[in-house]
Amino acid sequence: MRQPQVPVYAIAAGVSMAAFQLVRPWGDVTEEPEAMAEAFADPRWVIAHLAGAAVFILLTLLANDVVAEGIRQHAVRRRSPVARIARYGTFVGTSLVLLYFGAETFALHEIGRAALTGSSVDVVALSTSIRMNLVAVSVFGAGLLIVAAAMICLAVVAKRSGAAAWGAWPLSVLAALVLAQFALPPAGRMAYGVAFLLAAVLFAVAWRRRPTPAPAA
């Protein structure tokens, strides 16, 4: 039987979120065509957004292992709604979120490259139409809300599995606030990335230190 990799997935998700916020160029927030084109065309744009996408994949793997271990230890029931939401919600939410990340990562990168090579590209209009497409934004928002609900349930499962509250909750709460952090200025989003990493380390430490829980009643 495969050994759970909960601490590995937690810390990897934290590092990925920090990389997403700290590596990402921020010229696009200026709404100045040249600065936006330079940000989109920068290789760091692709690297950072791939890291951002990896966060959700890693959270899905994390949730799967936490729930599996909780079931193995009889800390949660296999058919428990909380366990099911934590496990399957992260998977469904991540699947929706990644659709948007694909366009954000690669489409905007190519628009920026085209603009810098002298093509008559309206960077502001095109990037806005891609980012604010009604279906795309709806899918992205729905995915993040599903992930938020799943991560709150994950904290409950982790706590029932013996992880201390100080380690189980911070990561889940910050993961639930991913949608809200997009409204922050660059400095706030970078601080969020660092806080997410610290919360991920706390989760990993709390998981490693947990006692063997008593079977659920």
pLDDT digits (tens, 9 = 90+) for 149-202: 999 999 999 999 999 999 999 999 999 999 999 999 999 999 999 999 999 999
- Token pair 């990340």 in the structure block, residue: 101
Whose structure tokens read 């660059």?
186
Q: Is the CB of residue 94 less than 8 Å from the CB of residue 143?
A: yes
- What's the mean pLDDT when you consider all of the chain? 93
| Band of pLDDT at residue 55, cut at 50, 70 and 90 | very high
Closest CA to 175 of 159, 208, 191, 199: 199
Rounded Cα gap, residues 202 and 69, in angstroms: 18
Query: pLDDT > 90: what percent of the chain?
Result: 89
Range with lowest mean pLDDT among 22-26, 116-120, 204-208: 116-120
Instruction: For residue 206, give every residue at least 6 positions away whose Cβ sits within 8 Å of its Cβ, in sequence order, or none.
Output: 158, 163, 164, 166, 167, 168
pLDDT of residue 123: 94
Q: Residue 157 has which token pair?
A: 């499962």
Give the count of alpha carbons within 13 A of 101, CB side only: 21
Look at residue 216 in the predicted model and tell me its pLDDT. 46
Q: What is the pLDDT of residue 120?
A: 83
Q: Judge whether residue 96 has pLDDT over 60.
A: yes
Give CA–CA dist 95/143, Å, rounded.
Answer: 7
pLDDT score, position 2: 61
Return the pLDDT at 217.
36
pTM above 0.75, yes or no: yes
For residue 158, report the phi and psi dihedrals to the nearest 5 degrees. Answer: -65, -40
Count of residues making up the chain: 217
Residue 57's φ and ψ, nearest 5 degrees, are: -65, -45
Distance from C-alpha of 140 to C-alpha of 138, rounded to nearest angstrom: 5
